[in-house]
Amino acid sequence: MLLRISLIVAILAGLGAGGLGYYEVSTQIPSLTTQRDTEKQDKEKALTELASTKSTLKKTQSDLAQTQQELADTKSERDKATARAEAQSKRADELSDKLAKAVSARDDAQNQLAAYKATDLTPEQIIKLNKNLKDANAQIEAINTEKTVFQREIVRLKTRLLKYEDPDAFVKLRPDLKGKILDVDPKWDFVILNIGEDQGALQDGELLVSREGKLVAKVIIRRVEKDRCIANIIPGWKLGDPIEGDEVTPAHPAPAS
């Protein structure tokens, strides 16, 4: 009998312990489930952020490579412009020396002609001296023309070089540069001007458009030809509609020489 009672008590005690254990486990399951879901979400979020970071890093590396290439290209263009400017300056110096020699030869010929006119020179000798004088004057004129061309090229190259060294720098135009609008395209906001390379117009130079002394707009030169250029109206500077005949003057004139 005592054995049966002990057995029953043991069974009851086991059932009670099992029930208590089941109760504790059942109360912890929701918490464990929540913790598991949270950790899963955190892991997925971390993986997403990692993928985004890798993508951003790849794009950054690509942008860096492109920037480095553009920098190398810009440096190469700058070096070429510098070399050309130096070559043109050297050529201009050579032309100046040739001009000085030609002027000296002309003066000598003039002096000789004046001196010989007071002598008993034959007409053939005087004709020869006159021819030498004309040849010297023609050579001087040709040298001056070539020198002017080289000086314009030097200014253009120096302007390009300045843009490479300081992209935000303004292009300086001749202070006496003046022109007029020949034609206007209101759809694309560009104008054609009657000033070009021969008059001192430079690419990226800015001009003020005025009418009867009042500012109408500001334009920037985009293409330069021999005796005309094409310029775009600068956004934010269109105070009115430019028309044919409006005057243009430099927005950033170079110091008077």
Same domain, 225 and 161: no
Q: Is the pTM of this model over 0.85?
A: no
How many domains, in total, are found in the chain? 2
Domain boundary among 140, 165, 190: 165
Same domain, 148 and 199: no
Same domain, 150 and 222: no
Tens of each residue's pLDDT in the chain, 257 residues? 666 676 666 666 666 555 555 555 566 666 767 777 777 787 777 778 777 777 777 877 877 778 788 777 877 877 787 788 788 878 888 888 888 888 888 888 777 777 766 666 666 766 776 777 777 777 777 776 666 655 666 656 666 665 556 566 788 899 999 999 999 999 999 999 999 988 989 989 999 999 999 999 999 999 999 999 999 999 999 999 999 999 999 999 988 76
Same domain, 154 and 197: no
Whether 225 is covered by a domain: the verdict is: yes
Whether 145 is covered by a domain: the verdict is: yes
Same domain, 186 and 146: no
Question: Domain range spanning residue 241?
Answer: 179-250
Whether 234 is covered by a domain: the verdict is: yes
Q: 135-152: per-residue pLDDT in tens?
A: 777 777 777 666 665 566
- AA letter at 137: N
